[in-house]
């Protein structure tokens, strides 16, 4: 989708039909061939992870699928029948499967829904996935092997969230419905406790996020509304930096602004987005609350800051409704005052962006579309009038000819 900041509107650029309901998304810039691009990993209720090329319009299939159903026999049969049809021969029929109710999975695949994905920003060809089968798997999308590069079985229940460390490409945080948050060394695999550190949380884990400006801080959002942050250097058995109830009805996701120091957002099924200053702790041990807003799109399950440095103050939220909400934080005076000078590049919020009398030199997209529609309507009216005129002239000539 494309966002026009001057008009405050979203426009669909192109869409991709998926074979199953998506549960998790992750963006990356390295494809299966090892070339740079614009790719999206999608985890669904099926057991596989589809990698889609976002730069291709009207795409019919993913560039590759990690795990999932083994369809090699069906694909081979299709190729054979295409060749036989071209030669005018009788098509081969599919052999009856003795285990119809037990479809075969690829070697090493998840055996249940893929609930969480994280694309490594350091080792950019590596993806981590968490599943309802209780396992965490690592995938190298450039590898010739279809099997995962590693499998971790340290959780005892569904894995809801996985998050790579933003700077250390071998550290992976995982959160599960077994009420634990773990740190693992991706260079090892299996159930080795010596390479796994864990912390207990009061409820099921819903979301994990690393602070991009204090990389040692890991934040967890729980189903009971608790937000907890740890210094991972003291993670195993250490006390959290802060922990408190942020939303009464649970926190569905937590997100840090990658361009503004300390600015953090949380979403909840109470339909609100709350903003926090994660770098300011008061005397009670809580971080500073900077306000909340009902974004009026139903129960919220996702919140995220726009990653670009060109628009660092945009926040999106979505959930049970049919719409996406975009919150422009430059219009909120409290936020502007609290985070003035917090931009990573050292610049300030430009108050002139909010001047109602500002004269924009950019072309108004909506005005252009309206003008185009008006021109089409005028052209259509002229064509219709011309056709009617031709019909009348034709009839008149016909009558003269009969006489």
d(CA 203, CA 223): 6
The per-residue pLDDT for 261 is 94
Alpha carbon distance 279, 276 (integer Å): 9
Q: Which residue has the tokens 């002139």?
A: 352
Q: How far apart are CA 212 and CA 79, in angstroms?
A: 49
pLDDT score for 8: 76
Q: How far apart are CA 40 and CA 35, in angstroms?
A: 14
pLDDT-derived band at 359 (thresholds 50, 70, 90) equals very low
Cβ-contact 256, 210 below 8 angstroms: yes
* Whether the predicted pLDDT of 402 surpasses 80: no
User: What pLDDT is recorded for position 225?
Assistant: 93
pLDDT score for 371: 66
Supply φ then ψ for residue 330, to 5 degrees.
-70, -15
Residue given tokens 């989708």 in the structure block: 1
Radius of gyration of the chain (CA): 27
Strand partners, 267: 253, 273
pLDDT higher than threshold 80 for residue 350: no
Average pLDDT score over the chain: 83
Task: Look at residue 145 and give its three-state secondary structure.
Answer: coil
Return the minimum-mean-pLDDT range out of 86-90, 117-121, 282-286. 86-90
- Distance CA(325)–CA(1), nearest Å, equals 13
CB 220 within 8 Å of CB 188: no
Instruction: Give every CB contact of residue 57 below 8 A, 6+ residues apart in sequence.
Output: 14
Token pair 């010739």 is found at 144
12 pLDDT band, cuts 50/70/90, is confident
Burial level of 380, CB count in 10 A (0-12/13-18/19+)? exposed
- The answer to whether the CB of 70 falls within 8 A of the CB of 106 is yes
Q: Which of 67-71, 352-356, 394-398 has the lowest mean pLDDT?
A: 352-356
Half-sphere exposure of 227 (CA within 13 A, CB side): 29
The pLDDT of residue 366 is 54
| pLDDT > 70 in the chain, percent | 78
Determine whether 304 is exposed, middle or buried from the number of CB atoms within 10 Å of its CB (0-12, 13-18, 19+).
middle
**Its pTM surpasses 0.85:** no
Residue 356 has pLDDT above 80, yes or no: no
Of 167, 165, 172, 170, nearest to 187 by C-alpha is 170
């Amino acid at each position: 989708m494309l966002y026009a900041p001057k008009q405050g509107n979203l426009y669909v650029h192109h869409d991709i039909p998926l074979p199953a309901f998506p549960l998790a998304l992750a963006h990356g810039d390295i494809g299966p061939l090892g070339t740079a691009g614009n790719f999206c990993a999608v985890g669904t209720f099926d057991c596989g992870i589809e990698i889609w090329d976002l730069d291709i319009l009207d795409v019919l299939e993913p560039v590759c699928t990690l795990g999932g159903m083994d369809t090699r026999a069906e694909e081979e049969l299709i190729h054979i029948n295409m060749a036989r049809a071209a030669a005018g021969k009788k098509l081969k029929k599919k052999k009856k499967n003795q285990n119809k109710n037990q479809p075969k999975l690829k070697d090493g695949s998840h055996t249940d829904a893929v609930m969480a994905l994280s694309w490594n920003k350091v080792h950019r060809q590596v993806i981590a996935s968490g599943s309802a089968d209780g396992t965490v798997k690592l995938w190298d999308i450039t590898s010739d092997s279809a099997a995962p590069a590693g499998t971790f079985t340290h959780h005892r229940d569904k894995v809801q969230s996985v998050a790579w460390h933003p700077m250390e490409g071998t550290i992976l945080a995982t959160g599960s419905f077994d009420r634990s948050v773990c740190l693992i060394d991706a260079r090892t695999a299996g159930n080795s406790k010596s390479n796994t550190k864990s912390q207990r949380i009061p409820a099921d884990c819903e979301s994990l996020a690393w602070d991009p400006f204090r990389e040692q801080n890991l934040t967890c959002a729980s189903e009971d509304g608790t937000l907890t942050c740890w210094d991972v250097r003291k993670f195993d058995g250490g006390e959290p930096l802060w922990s408190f109830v942020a939303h009464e009805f649970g926190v569905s996701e937590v997100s840090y602004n990658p361009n503004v120091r300390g600015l953090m957002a949380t979403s909840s099924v109470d339909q609100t987005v709350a903003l926090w200053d994660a770098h300011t702790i008061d005397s009670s041990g809580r971080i500073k609350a900077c306000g909340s807003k009902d974004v009026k799109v139903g129960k919220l399950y996702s919140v995220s800051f726009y990653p670009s440095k060109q628009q660092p103050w945009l926040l999106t939220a979505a959930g049970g409704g049919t719409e996406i909400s975009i919150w422009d934080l430059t219009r909120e005076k409290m936020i502007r005052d609290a985070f003035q000078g917090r931009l990573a590049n050292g610049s300030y919020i430009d108050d002139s962006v909010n001047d109602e009398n500002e004269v924009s030199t950019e072309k108004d997209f909506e005005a252009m579309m309206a003008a185009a529609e008006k021109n089409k309507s005028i052209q259509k009216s002229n064509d219709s009038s011309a056709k009617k005129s031709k019909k009348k002239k034709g009839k008149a000539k016909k009558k003269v000819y009969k006489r």
